[in-house]
Amino acid sequence: MRHNYRMSEVDMAGGAAPVLRGHFLYNEPMKKYVSWRTGGVAQRAYIPADLDDLVWLVRSVPAHEDIHVVGLGSNLLVRDGGVKGVVILLHGVLKKIALESRTQGLPPAPEGVDTALIYAQAGVAAPKLARFAANHDLVGGEFWAGIPGTVGGAIAMNAGCYGSETWDKLVQVLTLDRQGQLNERRPDEYVTGYRHVALKRAQQEWFIGGWFRLARGDGAASRETIKTLLKQRIASQPLNLPNAGSVFRNPPDDYAARLIEHCGLKGFRIGDAQVSVKHANFIVNLGSATATDIERLIEHVEDSVETRTNVRLIREVRIIGERQ
């Protein structure tokens, strides 16, 4: 449903659009904003001042121009030829996180279950959401500590690990559509699945925030669980080298890492892009990998696994921009 958010700068019904209060960066190297630490430039990057400013920025971009929204850039590759249009950088901007006190317009809690709601904006790091929940004696969100991205990215791809997924906890989302309209939407307006989220109607929107319902419980135990999960992550993933997390989704009843390793691809490299020797579903930048190196390696892994096992791996990472 649409929610009439009051714009602080100018009445939404009319009047001249305000001067944008964020700032543009031209031909900005995107390697500064993606966790692979490589890639081309953004023709125009924009860091909004706040949500109002973001809304006006979207309204000001002509309909024929592309808009790309980037959080932590932890599942993103920007091709070496760069990206046209406008890249909006949200991490550190939409950073509100709080217990939600209002009840009007939000789904009620399940009967007999003691719960609370957290509202988190898209720019909040997912591990911060996990810690915030635990520090307020809310349980069930510990898995977010293992997601190296923002709340916006976690919502957009239904990120999950350790047996839990983001949309299991969501009761409502706030989105911004291509016309610059803010909307509150319920989960039944989306088709969701494993690493997949799609609005049922054909409309381009970006997630601005979400309301998460968690059960009240033992916050100290939750914090210990988070510590354990982080130790497991450090032990099993190549966090000492630039990477974008899991490159491929796990096929049904199998693991992408197992298939890749079965094909003898652990350690295989193109240029300075390498299939991690620690975790085969990670591709790491050994130091000077280009985006082209990484994309070629992704394609090589896809083709090799399909040839050997008849399974076509599906990418988790997004690739945008122009080939060089």
- Check if the beta carbon of residue 43 is closer than 8 Å to that of residue 321: no
Say how far apart CA 229 and CA 163 lie, in whole Å: 12
Q: Any alpha helices (H) in 3-141, and if so which ranges?
A: 51-60, 126-135
Catalytic residue among 246, 276, 295, 302: 246
| Structure-token pair, residue 98 | 């709080």
**CA distances (Å), 317 to each of 24, 213, 244, 247, in order?**
26, 27, 7, 6
246 part of the active site: yes
Say how far apart CA 222 and CA 159 lie, in whole Å: 19
* Total Cβ atoms within 10 A of residue 66: 12
316 part of the active site: yes
Say how far apart CA 191 and CA 16 lie, in whole Å: 37
Catalytic residue among 142, 195, 213, 302: 195
- Check if the beta carbon of residue 211 is closer than 8 Å to that of residue 105: no
Say how far apart CA 116 and CA 220 lie, in whole Å: 17
Say how far apart CA 59 and CA 181 lie, in whole Å: 9
Say how far apart CA 43 and CA 84 lie, in whole Å: 5
Say how far apart CA 75 and CA 244 lie, in whole Å: 5
Report the SS3 class of residue 7.
coil
Secondary element (H or E) of residue 181: none
**CA distances (Å), 170 to each of 109, 115, 125, in order?**
12, 13, 16
Active site residues: 195, 246, 316
